[in-house]
Copies of this chain bind each other. A is one copy, B any other.
């Protein structure tokens, strides 16, 4: 249920109403939109009558039921407005959202050593990326495969952050690593395999760092939004949804099927910002550029691209990694599509540098 307040509603009245809703046993959440304030209500609202709620204040314009099972993640919950995630980085605040230029995240699958991560960070920054990705803890199908360098890799990411000012995005696999990881990560990634690890979702929902929630390999759009809802319901409103390819019957050429129609579908269902990862989405470097181009044309808010200084020697995911040179070229190509659509800034540096 959402309560749309009239334009100009006094703060005191909003506060009073909020308290009243609490007294009714509901969990009110104040959402400040462009023109209006909305109070989101989650709880036992099924039996409530919108008209009765409307009588609680003359400043209420409208009371609307949120029909979707994902309440806080639904677009209705923000009265149809998109939300944005604002991420402070050494280079300034980066905004990811429908009304902002496309943000690019780039870097290797895993942090291998200091030289490679810093070199990669410098190269992707120079090409226009605002975030460095790099795994310290790696979910690998085989227990005998390289599992990431763990905490020591976190230190290397911190060094790359300091050297370049880029924000850091890295994956959390185990709640017991949350504290050290959150210290250096600007965005915490929850990987596809943990999308329905509800214990982990509740824990990252109970802390402040923004969350990048990758779609599970066989997660429906609704499953995915319900997973986001776990994080939102636990108190963290900063969730970015990342499509990274789904599992289908054909895996001979592309490893996964990148579901770009998720972009318009999510746009109508949720206010949350969207990221596309064409590297995992296709599994082959040669397919990445055209899928990155397509993502922008389809309306993504951000992109995640794997870049490795020497893909052939990568400890993981080499076949899907671009070289820094190929990434330079890709960024120039992306501008060709992004600029006329008004989603690409020439000076790709964050606000406030």
Q: Which residues of A contact B (CB under 8 A)?
A: 42, 69, 71, 139-144, 147, 173-176, 193-194, 196-200, 202, 216-218, 220-223, 226, 229-230, 233-234, 246-254, 257-261, 263-265, 267-269, 281-282, 286-287, 289-291, 293-299, 336-337, 339-341
Number of copies: 4
Measured CA separation A198–B222 after assembly (Å): 25
Q: By the criterion CB–CB under 8 Å, are A220 and B174 in contact?
A: no
Which one, B221, B252, B258, B261, contacts A222 given CB within 8 A? Answer: B252
Tell me which residues across on chain B come within 8 A of A71, comparing CB atoms.
Answer: 144
A279 to chain B, nearest CB (A): 12
Please give me the residue from chain B that is nearest to A342 by CB atom: B336
Q: By the criterion CB–CB under 8 Å, are B198 and A221 in contact?
A: no
Which 3 residue pairs are nearest across A and B when measured between Cβ atoms?
A: A218-B218, A297-B297, A174-B199
A317 to chain B, nearest CB (A): 16
Tell me which residues across on chain B come within 8 A of A173, comparing CB atoms.
Answer: 197-199
A230 to chain B, nearest CB (A): 4
Measured CA separation A197–B234 after assembly (Å): 21
A75 to chain B, nearest CB (A): 13
A248 to chain B, nearest CB (A): 5
Measured CA separation A269–B263 after assembly (Å): 27
Q: Which of A196, A226, A246 has the most CB of B within 10 A?
A: A196
Q: Can you spell out 21 A-B residue pairs with CB atoms less than 8 angstroms apart? A: A139-B196, A140-B198, A141-B223, A141-B226, A144-B233, A175-B176, A176-B199, A218-B218, A221-B250, A246-B248, A249-B251, A250-B259, A257-B259, A260-B291, A264-B286, A264-B290, A267-B290, A293-B297, A297-B297, A297-B337, A337-B337
Q: By the criterion CB–CB under 8 Å, are A260 and B229 in contact?
A: no
Starting from the known contacts A69-B142, A264-B282, A293-B298, 8 additional A-B residue pairs (CB-CB under 8 Å) come to A42-B144, A71-B144, A175-B176, A194-B196, A197-B197, A221-B252, A248-B257, A263-B290
A204 to chain B, nearest CB (A): 13
Measured CA separation A267–B287 after assembly (Å): 10
Please give me the residue from chain B that is nearest to A195 by CB atom: B193
Measured CA separation A98–B352 after assembly (Å): 43
Measured CA separation A260–B261 after assembly (Å): 9
Q: By the criterion CB–CB under 8 Å, are A230 and B143 in contact?
A: yes
Tell me which residues across on chain B come within 8 A of A269, comparing CB atoms.
Answer: 253
Measured CA separation A272–B234 after assembly (Å): 39
